[in-house]
A and B are shown apart, each in its own frame.
Chain A
Amino acid sequence: MVFKCKNCGGNVVYNPERHKMHCPYCDSLESEQKETTGESLTTCINCGGPIEVNEFTSASQCPYCDNYIIFDERVTGEYTPHLIIPFVFSKERVKLLLRDKFKSCVFAPSDFLSEAKLNSMSGMYVPFWMYDYHVRGVFDGQGNKIRRWRSGNTEYTETSVYHIYRDMEVDFDKMPVDSSDAMPDATMDLMEPYDYKALEAFKEEYMSGFFAERYNQDALAGEPRAVDKAKKDAESILKQSISGYVGVHSALNNQVTLQRTDTNYALLPVWIYNYKYKGEDYRFHINGQTGKIIGKVPVAAKKVWGYGATVFASLFTIMMLVRQLLLMF
C-alpha cells in the first residue's frame, strides 16, 4: 500500500513532530488516502519501477519515485503487529542530537556530521517480541554478620551465622527482544528502554515514511533471550533483598522459575546512520522514541596522540610555572 494525498497526489508520510499524517508536497495534514491496487513485492505500486526487497522487508522506499511503500501481506494476518511505538524524533531532530553529542569529538572525520551524510539516515521500525512473565525466585542459604570491638590490646570478632530464606514472586511486563537478524542483538539491548506508556495499537499510517521489517523468527525462537533477561533481573532483585551480610552462599541451587503469561508482537522505532570511514562501516542506532544514541565514532588515532602530547606538554608547563610562582612568593 501507499498513502497518497487527496489534494495533490503526493506521498503522505507520518510526521513525528505533529503526530499526524502530513503531505510534504502541499503541506496538507491528514489528507492521506490508502491505495492498495497493483501491489507487488517486485514492482513499485506507485510508478511500477522494479524494487528489491528481502524476505522480511515490510516497508521500504522506491528508488525511482521516492514513495514510501508498505507491503500489505507483511503487516496483515499472522504478521499484524499488536503494538507500535510511533517515531517521536524526526530526522531533523536526530541530526541535532547527533551534532550536539559529537560536536566535541574533534577526533571524528570532518564529514562525519555533514548534512549530506546525515541525510542518508533512515528510520526503521524494528520487529520486537515482548514477553510477559510471572517469575518465582527462591533463595535458601547462609550469610554472616560481623561485629568487631576492642578491649585493651585485644580485638574481638563476633561472627553471627544466619540462615537466609527468601521466596519471591514478580511479574515482568513486556520483556523485549528484537526479532531482526539485521540488527545486532547487543546494540538492540542498548536501545532499551522504550517508554511503554506510548505503546499503541498498530496502525499502518505510522509506517509511511519509514522502513520496516516483519519479525524474522517466531515468538518461540526469540524467547531464550527474554528468559535470560527475566531470570537475571529476578536474581538481582532477590539479591537486593539480602543485605548486611558477608560471605552469602548457598549449598542449594537457587531456583528461579518462570512462566510466560502473554506475548506481543511490536514495532519499535530506530534511526540508523551508516557511516563509512577508511573502508570500515560505522553504524549508529538512535532510539526513535527517546533519542538514546548507540554507536562508535570513528577516531583518527594519529590526531589523538598528537593532542595527547599537547595535553602533556601544556599541563607540565603550567604546573612548573605554578611551582615557580609558589617558590617566589
Chain B
Amino acid sequence: MKQYFSYFKWMFIVLGVLAVITGVVAAANALTADNTYVRGNKEAPEQRVYDYADVLTSAEEKDLEELIAKRESQIGCDIVLVTIDESLYDIYGITDDTDANWEWSITEYAETFYLDNNYGFDETGTEGDGALLLHNWHPVEKGLHVAHGGKVWDHYSDSMIADLLDVIYDKAKDDPYEAYKYYVENMYREMSGKASAINLNPFILFIIAVIVAAIFIATHIKPKEGSKTTTSSTYVENGSVKFNAQRDELINKYVTKRVIQTSSGGGGSSGGRSSGGSRMGGGSRRG
C-alpha cells in the first residue's frame, strides 16, 4: 500500500491540486457574476428572432429570445436572428444567378434589416454594437450571412465569421435550433472574452485514458528480456570493407501520365470593412 502511494505520488498530487484549483475557480465564478451592460439605444424593437422560414417551434423561438436577452446584457451587443425562405433575386430584380449577385443580395437584405430596425446595443447605424444572422432556406438561393457592426465588427475577423458560418451550416442541417443557439453562444463567448472555452469531448478523453492504461499494462505485464546491441558492423575488422565493383547502370526509362481529378469546393466568401458596396462588416456562406 505504501509502495502504491509512492508510485502514484505525482499523479495524486496533480490530481489533488487540479481538484482544488477547479473548486476555487468554480466558487470564484459563482461569486462574481458577469458584468451587466445598460442599453443605450432605445429605438430598436424588443424582438430578436424573426423566423419567417418557420424552421423553429414557437417554444424554441421563445427559448432563443430569452437566451439572447440574457446574453445581450452580458456582452452589450444586439444579437438578431432572421430566417427567410424567399427569392431575394425577385426582390432586387436580379436575373443572373451568379455567386456575386447571390452574395450582394443576401448582404443587402441582412444589412437593410439590421439598419432599418435600428439595431445596435449602444447606438443605431453601422457603428452600433450588434450582429444579425440571416439564414435563407430558399431552395435555389439558400445560404447564410452574418452582418455585424460596432465592436462585433472590430472583434470578428473574416476567418472567424467563415468558421462560425461553417458550424452553423452543418448544425442547421439536423437541428436549426441548435445551430442558432450556437450562433448566440459563439457571440457570447467571443464578445465576453471567454472565447478560449475549449470544450474537450469527454468520450475522447475516456478513450485516451483507456489507451494509456492499456499501454501501461501491456508494457508491464510482459517483461522484456533485453535488446540486441550489436550491428552488422560490430565484428567488421576496421576498414576491411572493400568494393571491387559498384556499378549503377541506367538500362531503361519510361514515363507514365495520369489526369488528376480536382474536387471543386463550394462557394463561400466574406467581406471585411472595406468590401465594396456593403455598409456593415460580415460574411456569407452559400449552400
A307 engages B220 (CB within 8 Å): yes
Q: How many A-B residue pairs have CB under 8 A?
A: 217
CA distance A153 to B264 in the complex (A): 13
Q: How many residues of A contact B (CB 8 A)?
A: 76
Task: Decide yes or no whether B3 CB sits under 8 A from chain A.
Answer: yes
The 0/1 profile, CB within 8 Å of B marked 1, for residues 287-329 of chain A is 0000011111111010011011111111111111111111111
Task: Decide yes or no whether B237 CB sits under 8 A from chain A.
Answer: yes
Task: Decide yes or no whether A25 CB sits under 8 A from chain B.
Answer: no
Closest to B208 in A: A319
CA distance A1 to B220 in the complex (A): 47
Partner of A190, one of B15, B29, B228, B236: B228
Task: Decide yes or no whether A56 CB sits under 8 A from chain B.
Answer: no
The interface residues of chain B lying within 8 Å CB-to-CB of A295 are 225-226
Partner of B205, one of A236, A237, A323: A323
B226 engages A325 (CB within 8 Å): no
> Provided the pairs A154-B260, A301-B221, A315-B209 are in contact, do residues A164 and B247 lie with their beta carbons within 8 angstroms?
yes
CA distance A171 to B236 in the complex (A): 6
Whole-angstrom distance between the Cβ of A170 and the nearest chain B Cβ: 5
The interface residues of chain B lying within 8 Å CB-to-CB of A314 are 8, 11-12, 15
Whole-angstrom distance between the Cβ of B229 and the nearest chain A Cβ: 7
The interface residues of chain A lying within 8 Å CB-to-CB of B240 are 169-171
Chain B 188-209 residues near chain A, CB threshold 8 A: 194, 196-200, 202, 205-206, 208-209
> Provided the pairs A174-B235, A299-B220, A318-B15 are in contact, do residues A169 and B242 lie with their beta carbons within 8 angstroms?
yes
**Of B50-58, B77-85, B94-102, B249-257, which binds chain A?**
B249-257
The 0/1 profile, CB within 8 Å of A marked 1, for residues 24-50 of chain B is 011001000000000000000000000
Task: Decide yes or no whether A27 CB sits under 8 A from chain B.
Answer: no
Q: How many residues of B contact A (CB 8 A)?
A: 71
B235 engages A323 (CB within 8 Å): no
CA distance A207 to B208 in the complex (A): 55
Whole-angstrom distance between the Cβ of B173 and the nearest chain A Cβ: 26
A159 engages B253 (CB within 8 Å): yes
Whole-angstrom distance between the Cβ of B210 and the nearest chain A Cβ: 6
> Provided the pairs A165-B247, A190-B226, A325-B22 are in contact, do residues A157 and B242 lie with their beta carbons within 8 angstroms?
no
A106 engages B208 (CB within 8 Å): no
B250 engages A296 (CB within 8 Å): no
Whole-angstrom distance between the Cβ of A49 and the nearest chain B Cβ: 37
Whole-angstrom distance between the Cβ of A306 and the nearest chain B Cβ: 8
CA distance A172 to B233 in the complex (A): 9
B18 engages A322 (CB within 8 Å): yes
The interface residues of chain A lying within 8 Å CB-to-CB of B3 are 106
Task: Decide yes or no whether B59 CB sits under 8 A from chain A.
Answer: no
Task: Decide yes or no whether B21 CB sits under 8 A from chain A.
Answer: yes
Whole-angstrom distance between the Cβ of A289 and the nearest chain B Cβ: 13
CA distance A166 to B242 in the complex (A): 10
CA distance A299 to B223 in the complex (A): 7
A167 engages B245 (CB within 8 Å): yes
Closest to B6 in A: A106
Chain A 139-165 residues near chain B, CB threshold 8 A: 142, 150, 153-165
Chain B 211-244 residues near chain A, CB threshold 8 A: 212-214, 216-217, 220-230, 232-237, 240-244
Task: Decide yes or no whether A233 CB sits under 8 A from chain B.
Answer: yes
> Provided the pairs A156-B257, A161-B253, A292-B229 are in contact, do residues A329 and B242 lie with their beta carbons within 8 angstroms?
no
Partner of B213, one of A171, A175, A296, A309: A309
The interface residues of chain B lying within 8 Å CB-to-CB of A321 are 15, 18-19, 22
